[in-house]
Amino acid sequence: MASPARTFLAFQHDAHLHTLETVVIAVHPFTSLEESDRQLFKDGTEKHHAIITEKTIFHPQGGGQPSDTGVMKGPASTFTVTAVRMSVTHDGQVLHLGQFDNSTSFSAGETVHQAIDVDKRLLYSRLHTAGHVLGAAVRYLLEKEIENFDELKASHFPDSAACEFQGAIDGKWKDPIQRRLDEYIAAKMPVQVEWWDEDDFRARGLERLIPDPSLVPPGEKSRVVNIVGAEVYPCGGTHVDTTDLCGSTTVKKISRKSGNSRVSYTVN
């Protein structure tokens, strides 16, 4: 299989894009993908194809955020996109998995019209931003209270949204975390996408956030989400413009295991 160039992630530069015209680079039957790429899609069958395009507005699943879904329309057929992943075998390629509505496929070089499910995008953006705001609230309260405190990872899926932290967070912190979270959301803090190099992190005293250089393409800067007045996160996901647009965010539960803690949450 030939190795096309990296897919331009248009959504990272303008999350308000809900449609996009782009060119098809390749169309692969699911069964022809390399094994490691097939394993990315648990529901892939012989009826599915994987489309690679020059640009995409579809967010691939990653960073705790689910993938976008939607459609691509070509000259003679419509392709329903059900899952999106970054290729394991070809760095920077985005694989759009789905099915054609008839027997007519796309051809390399054709222009197609991409359209995402806007309601899902908004929900996922609200959940993702709310997770960062929650992380900022926990850090504000507990960074100096818990030895070796750190943020570990997060899930921003609708039914399992949670942030994980290094250190044991006692249940008594649930209400203070909720109050600080409410304050940050009510403050309508701007959520700004910025592009930083290592010097930008150091100038702000945020050396702890400098990404592994191997994760940043040569010649590019790191994408960060700056919740102005609260916290900064290296992040490739989609977000709402201000914290109040997360909507009502509720801390559900604090659980502890093996010295770490998990704070689950919902948005309404």
Read off the pLDDT of residues 216-257 as tens digits, 9 standing for 90 and up.
877 889 999 999 999 999 999 999 999 999 999 999 999 999
pLDDT at 3 over 60: no
> Percent of the chain, pLDDT > 90?
91
> Percent of the chain, pLDDT > 70?
99
User: Do residue 38 and residue 93 come from a single domain?
Assistant: yes
- Show the domain range for 219: 121-267
User: Do residue 159 and residue 255 come from a single domain?
Assistant: yes
User: Do residue 28 and residue 43 come from a single domain?
Assistant: yes
The mean predicted confidence, pLDDT, of the chain is 95
User: Do residue 57 and residue 156 come from a single domain?
Assistant: no
How many domains in the chain? 2
User: Do residue 17 and residue 134 come from a single domain?
Assistant: no
- Inside any domain, residue 158: yes
In this predicted model, what pLDDT tens digit does every residue of 64-73 receive, in sequence order? 999 999 999 9
User: Per-residue confidence at 48, pLDDT binned at 50, 70, 90?
Assistant: very high
Return all residues near 25 (Cβ < 8 A) that are at least 6 apart: 4, 5, 52, 53, 54, 108
Instruction: Give the predicted TM-score (pTM) of the model.
Output: 0.93
Give the end of a domain, one of 81, 116, 151: 116
- Inside any domain, residue 19: yes
So what's the pLDDT on residue 175? 98
The b-or-e profile of 153-186 (16+ CB within 10 A means b, else e) is: ebbbeeeebbbbbebebeeebeeebbebbbebbe
User: Do residue 47 and residue 158 come from a single domain?
Assistant: no
- Inside any domain, residue 199: yes
- Inside any domain, residue 172: yes
- Inside any domain, residue 3: no
User: Per-residue confidence at 59, pLDDT binned at 50, 70, 90?
Assistant: very high
Cβ-contact 15, 239 below 8 angstroms:
yes
- Inside any domain, residue 169: yes
